[in-house]
Amino acid sequence: MTNILAIETTCDETAAAVVADGWLVKSNVVSSQVQLHQKYGGVVPEIASRAHMEWLNRLIDSALEQARCAFADLDAIAVAHCPGLVGCLIVGVAAAKTLAFALHRPLIGINHVHAHLYGGFLSSKPGGSTSMPEFPALGLVVSGGHTSLFHLHSFVDIRRMGATIDDAIGEAFDKTAAILGLGYPGGAALEQLARQGDANSIDFPISLLDPESLDFSYSGLKTAVRYHLQGRKGEAQSINTRPSQDLADVAAAFQRAAIAPIGVKLRRAMQRYGFRSILVGGGVSANHSLRQVVRQVAEEFAVPVAMPAMAFCTDNAAMLAGLAFHRLEAGCIDSLNLPAIATV
């Protein structure tokens, strides 16, 4: 068995995990900083890096303990070294380098966004392994920081084909949720509210960019929601005085407009490149309407789709360890000069 310990500190989740053979999650510990950042309505980089420093060693200990692994049982150390908040990345990268050096184990740097594509191949149950995808595969990452399409030639050759030109889809969910008074981060709460609403009650703009584009844009949608709720010509009505059905309709109509471009771009990419499978990941892949749209596209093109179990949609370290297994097998090992890179 090949045991890989992975460390995740790209943004506001400190996480560590031990995964065997690229799929069996022996432990997956995540410590969310949401409460630390909640009152600011977004992640404060300095607070985030300090929290990573405080928590990381304890999380690594818990990950090893839950996996019933000693340091000596590890075969490699993986870390998310890009993209993210640079002060946060440095904490994880320094810890991973120290362990790799001290234990004489290979160090494997992982792109956090690429790792989201691996969420669908993880399982906590022995015997729960999922067969590997057929390549070339189409990858979709929908998270708080990214909305990207990838062309995967293999798990070690992943190229971006399209991305958001402004806000990420998760950011649009979070900002709309904040306008609706649902707290931060409000993506999941917005989905809940949308269940009681009529998605066709309001025509929010569906941004597709030009007819060939595989990029996304979400800033217009967020602004449209704000204008809709403020009303025109001073008819402003406070959120608190709006009937709850109104707010549910806004949530449902927003969700429809946010997810529609995903279906369009997936179809466009499938038609253009004839991918043999679809892989999806990132926090917003927990959204049931989005999952349904992805399944529909996969059915239309008769290809299999791999989506993460709920526990592996949002940020975690297991997805890093899983992807690292394939890099290790392919001999993609990093030196102790591995840099922390904020944007890629």
Per CB under 6 A, the list member of 139, 162, 187, 308 interacting with ligand KG4 is 187
Sign of CA dihedral 230, 235, 238, 243: negative
Question: In the stretch 290-319, what mask flags binding to ligand KG4 with x, by CB under 6 A?
Answer: ------------------------xx----
Please report, as a single letter, which amino acid is at residue 256.
R
CB nearer to ligand KG4: pick between 122 and 286: 286
Strand order in the sheet with 76-82: 24-32, 13-20, 3-8, 76-82, 107-111
Residue 315 lies near Zn ion (rule: CB under 5 A):
yes
- Tell how strand 24-32 and strand 13-20 pair up: antiparallel
CB nearer to ligand KG4: pick between 162 and 282: 282
The option from ligand KG4, Zn ion, none interacting with 74 (CB < 5 to 8 A, set by class) reads none
122 vs 128: CA distance, rounded Å: 8
- Tell how strand 305-306 and strand 147-154 pair up: unpaired
Q: What's the min distance (Å) between Cβ of 7 and ligand KG4? A: 15
DSSP class of residue 134 equals: P
Sign of CA dihedral 174, 177, 182, 183: positive
Closest residue by Cα to residue 228 from 210, 202, 207: 202
Helix (H) or strand (E) holding 81: strand 76-82
Q: What's the min distance (Å) between Cβ of 306 and Zn ion? A: 17
Residue 197 lies near ligand KG4 (rule: CB under 6 A):
no
Per CB under 6 A, the list member of 282, 303, 305, 312 interacting with ligand KG4 is 282
Residue 143 lies near Zn ion (rule: CB under 5 A):
yes
CB nearer to Zn ion: pick between 191 and 249: 191
CB nearer to ligand KG4: pick between 170 and 322: 170
CB nearer to ligand KG4: pick between 133 and 185: 185
Could you tell me which stretch among 40-48, 61-69, 122-130, 142-150 binds Zn ion (CB under 5 A)?
142-150
Question: In the stretch 124-143, what mask flags binding to ligand KG4 with x, by CB under 6 A?
Answer: -------------------x
Q: What's the min distance (Å) between Cβ of 282 and ligand KG4? A: 4
Q: Count of alpha carbons within 13 Å of 281, Cβ hemisphere only? A: 26
**Tokens 């958001």, located at residue:** 164
How far does Cα 210 stand from its chain's mean position?
26
Residue 167 lies near Zn ion (rule: CB under 5 A):
no
195 vs 233: CA distance, rounded Å: 30
Residue 173 lies near ligand KG4 (rule: CB under 6 A):
yes
Are 33 and 127 a contacting pair, CB within 8 Å?
Answer: no
Q: What's the min distance (Å) between Cβ of 125 and Zn ion? A: 24
Residue 12 lies near Zn ion (rule: CB under 5 A):
no
Could you tell me which stretch among 155-163, 180-188, 200-208, 321-329 binds ligand KG4 (CB under 6 A)?
180-188
3-state secondary structure of 306: strand
56 vs 52: CA distance, rounded Å: 6
Residue 83 lies near ligand KG4 (rule: CB under 6 A):
no
Residues contributing to the site for Zn ion (CB under 5 A)? 143, 315
Residues contributing to the site for ligand KG4 (CB under 6 A)? 143-145, 170, 173-174, 185, 187-188, 191, 282-284, 286-287, 314-315
